[in-house]
Amino acid sequence: MSWTTFPKVELHLHLEGAAPPDFIRALAKEKSMDIAGIFDAQGNYAYRDFTHFLSVYEAATETLKTPEDYHRLTRAVLEQSAANGVVYAETFLSPDFCGGSDVVAWRDYLAAIVDAADEAERRDGITLRGIVTCIRHFGPEKARASARCAAETAGDWLTGFGIAGAETMGEPGDFAYSFDMAREAGLNLTAHAGEWGGAKSVRDAVSDLGVGRIGHGVRAIEDPEVVEMLAEREVVLEVCPGSNVTLGVYPDWKSHPIQRLREAGVKVTVSTDDPPFFHTTMTREFEMLEKHFGWGEEEFDEINQTALAAAYCDPQTRARVAEQIKRT
């Protein structure tokens, strides 16, 4: 079966990380910036390991200078997502990259992104919501500035707050102040954990930040008590298997714990993270899950339902998307 047109819900997608290399190359050319070093001979993003990935990601992001650039990026990314059957997506946005976490500038970037998302919804029937994400390796002070931007613009479109970046730097508790600010503003919370940190990092993100979802979270599998805690509390994992395999969290698809987590009663969903960096799409994630774990329509319907139930959107949007993922 071809999974291209099967409807999909994606909860974990970094907007800059979804930028096609051609798009970034064209922007760099327009601005006379030399970023040739971030590409390989085939024109794909080139990096050696996770730390290098983060610096290539940030170098590519340097080309995105204005709200208009983010408008074009959002349009390009949603075209790709819609072509892969995605009907609802949530994207991580970082005010650090969008106006340096200045609230006035951030509002302009956000307005441009929402405008492009509205256009895509009208054109392709794909719905997007935003999650402000602070960057762990930029430190707690910058995270507070991002949380302030998030709190100021929280609403029906900007619905969440999270943290990404180098998981080995600092502790989740260092960012509790920012998460408290976001929670008080009515935002829903998620945190990257259990990707580069072990099971304890997942436990700490849940207990110290009070998140309802975890980005990745897969290394919870290393401690049965953490797996049980996730299942009991119905914490939803935004699992990105292709990202984990490409970055070397697991050596191959067969070793990936998504199936074991699901069998242990943990609520799992599937996303791409930074698709062109990992040579993936939502269609490819589905194909690989079919190939390596035998997943089919039943499993994909189940993860769609899990993802939509865990989506950070209002009830009307959830009901509308429920119709889009309903199959007869």
Cβ distance to Zn ion smaller for residue 167 or 273 = 273
Tokens 């969440």 sit on residue: 160
If one asks whether residue 16 binds Zn ion (CB under 5 A), the answer comes out as no
Tokens 């930028």 sit on residue: 19
Among 188, 4, 158, smallest CA distance to 91 is for 158
Question: What's the min distance (Å) between Cβ of 261 and ligand ADE?
Answer: 17
Binding mask 185-224 for ligand ADE (x = CB under 6 A): -------x--x-----------------------------
Question: What's the min distance (Å) between Cβ of 103 and ligand ADE?
Answer: 23
If one asks whether residue 243 binds ligand ADE (CB under 6 A), the answer comes out as yes
Residue-level length of the chain = 328
**One of 96, 273, 285, 299 touching ligand ADE (CB under 6 A):** 273
Residue 65: left if φ>0, alpha if ψ -120 to 50, beta else—which one? alpha
**How many residues bind to ligand ADE according to rule CB under 6 A?**
10
Following DSSP, what letter does each residue of 275-320 receive, concatenated? GGGGT--HHHHHHHHHHHH---HHHHHHHHHHHHHH-SS-HHHHHH
Number of H helices, E strands in the chain: 13, 8
Q: For residues 244-303, which are near Zn ion according to CB under 5 A?
A: 273
Round to whole Å and give the CA distance between 230 and 111: 36
Cβ distance to Zn ion smaller for residue 11 or 149 = 11
Query: Catalytic one among 16, 195, 238, 299?
Result: 195
**Residues that bind Zn ion in the complex, under the rule CB under 5 A:** 273
Which residues are tagged catalytic?
A: 195
**Residues that bind ligand ADE in the complex, under the rule CB under 6 A:** 14, 17, 57, 164-165, 192, 195, 243, 273-274
